[in-house]
A = this chain, B = another copy of it.
Amino acid sequence: MARKLLALVSAVPVVVALNNGLALTPQMGWNTWNHFGCGINQDTIVNSAKALISNGLDKLGYEYVLVDDCWQADARDPDTGAPVEDKSKFPDGIKAVADQVHSLGLKFGIYSSAGTYTCGGKFGSLDYEEIDAKTYASWGVDYLKYDNCNNEGRAGTPQISYERYNNMSQALNATGRPILYSMCNWGEDGPWNFAVNIANSWRISGDIYDNFDRYDDRCPCTSMLDCKLAGFHCAMSRIIDFSAPLGQKAGKGHWNDLDMLEVGNGGMTYDEYVTHFSMWALAKSPLILGNDVTDMSDETKQIITNDAIIAVNKDTNGSPAIRVWKKPVSQGGDIQLWSITLVNYQWVFAVLNTSPVNQTVDISLLDVFIDQGSSFGSGTFTLSDLWQKDSSGNWGASVGNAQGTFTVSVNS
């Protein structure tokens, strides 16, 4: 387990979003699923939205409040075919909840599946794209997470998957309302290849679970490049591994989604959650909180409010971090070096340790500057640790200069 994350200059990067359109930097927010699953109602949503405000999370960028699966009634409106909410959970209706979220200055999102049913067994949107998009827009929806369960075999080539997901993309665009489109087809048929112009983000793997590196057969593939069963129960560090070749495909408005965060849900240590949050930020993944934001420990709050790390995620350079190398360790696991170039002459690198023991490792500037070349590699740089605070209480305390090859210690 790794937790050293160092910025090579002391100033926290300035974050500027320049273009029109959505998700110019990866979306941030909160989603019901990881903590509440199907056990949601309108109070869950509104209370969590209020907690985002009261904890100051909105000011850091967490702006989307997302209702995941199980908001639906048992069936569509029998007359119009329109989607209907479960009135026992949402007695005032989804629109009223969206209005409340909007009145708090936040944005509101919803969930469906590009299948006959959702993963939770509710009605899906396959072949109902137009009426569903229109209804969502009429409710004031700003964001759609669009899942892959029950797709009735409409997969197997990029072309087949593109057509299914583009149907909803076109339907959302046709509403005239800007709705962030978050594809969740678990990397099937390579959305990083086919979906760059139809979605704002796409999941790259099966669902995360709240664990650093435990493997079981429910997440069976060793790479997502041609995985035929993405599964679920994918440990956090496996998803980092899956993401390594895919960073090249992400950019402004179209991101690799490493899945919602587990920070604060209890399955990992503090150091492990620091790694989790840091690597999601460097991979330019959407940062969607998955814990109960109405009831957080100080540690959890500290991690998700590290504005130096969030700034890396929001940096306008757009390109995710590159994995420079991954070296196996004799005790099992590996050490990895990741590096990312920010605007404003700043770079961030991370050393990741997935072995069961502490590691001390030599890092070469020539490696950190893999895309800048030898002239950078021979320079001198100010080194800051984004997980230490300086005397003013700001994240990113200076820890000296870096030159040539320097040594980093990483806990197990």
Contacts and interface: CB of A to CB of B under 8 A. Distances in A.
Contact of A153 (B163, B232, B245, B325): B163
B216 A323 contact: yes
A162 B157 contact: no
A132 B151 CA distance: 27
Q: Which of A158, A217, A227 has the most CB of B within 10 A?
A: A217
Nearest to A243: B217
B216 A324 contact: yes
Contacts of A61: none
A306 B400 CA distance: 50
A354 to B, nearest CB: 15
Contacts of A64: none
Nearest to A338: B217
Nearest to A162: B153
B153 A156 contact: no
Interface stretch (A3-11, A21-29, A191-199, A379-387): A191-199
Contacts of A223: 220
Q: How many A residues touch the partner, as a band?
A: 35 or more
Nearest to A206: B248
Contacts of A84: none
Contacts of A227: 225
B197 A217 contact: no
11 contacts: A151-B193, A152-B162, A152-B194, A152-B198, A153-B161, A153-B162, A153-B166, A155-B159, A216-B322, A217-B244, A218-B247
A154 interface: yes
A343 interface: no
A104 interface: no
Contacts of A154: 158-159, 162
A197 B232 contact: no
Contacts of A161: 153
A228 interface: yes
A229 B150 contact: no
A304 to B, nearest CB: 22
A200 to B, nearest CB: 16
A151 B194 CA distance: 7
A254 to B, nearest CB: 11
State the copy count for this chain.
Answer: 4
Nearest to A155: B158
A240 B375 CA distance: 28
A193 B158 CA distance: 16
Contact of A225 (B192, B228, B326): B228
A295 interface: no
A231 interface: yes
Nearest to A121: B251
A167 interface: no
A373 B214 CA distance: 13
A160 B162 CA distance: 13
Interface in A193-244: 193-198, 216-218, 220-221, 223, 225-229, 231-233, 244
Contact of A228 (B190, B198, B248): B190
A378 interface: no
Contacts of A325: 216
A62 interface: no
A346 interface: no
A370 interface: yes
A273 interface: no
B231 A218 contact: no
Interface in A321-353: 322-326
A412 interface: no
Nearest to A195: B153
A193 B150 CA distance: 8
